[in-house]
Structure 1
């Protein structure tokens, strides 16, 4: 009888633990999706395509991409002055 109670207790604790983990993961992903495209510059956005200055043939192209979503393409502006890929002509 005591073993049955311990087993039931362990399964209950395990179920609660799984539920807590599941809920925390789903709330994290909903937070990310609700903030995507919001212009927030904190953290990285996994929905952003990876672009580097080598992907552009001119500074104007890089600047247009950077201006389209500054939080996604912040790596194009290495010194943070608002001008993307300053090494390109």
Structure 2
């Protein structure tokens, strides 16, 4: 807490001195804006990381699977994501993968 001295206004009236705490001082506002911007950027980075993480599984092809049965089980779990595993649309994924 700090004591503020008394002073005279332009009209000649005297303002009595009083105690001033830090909470009564005006904040500049930059700290708040900077914090909000930093938080927004952090949330954007997290959302981008999550969206990229989910899309990477859908870009797989037949060579990513060790056998035809593994490719077929992945295809059956999510047909829209793994649609590129079934080229001729007969419901059998990676027919040429004989491992």
TM-score w.r.t. the length of structure 2 is: 0.41
More strand by share: 2
Question: Which structure has more helix as a fraction of its residues?
Answer: 1
Higher relative contact order (CA 8 A, sep 6+): 1
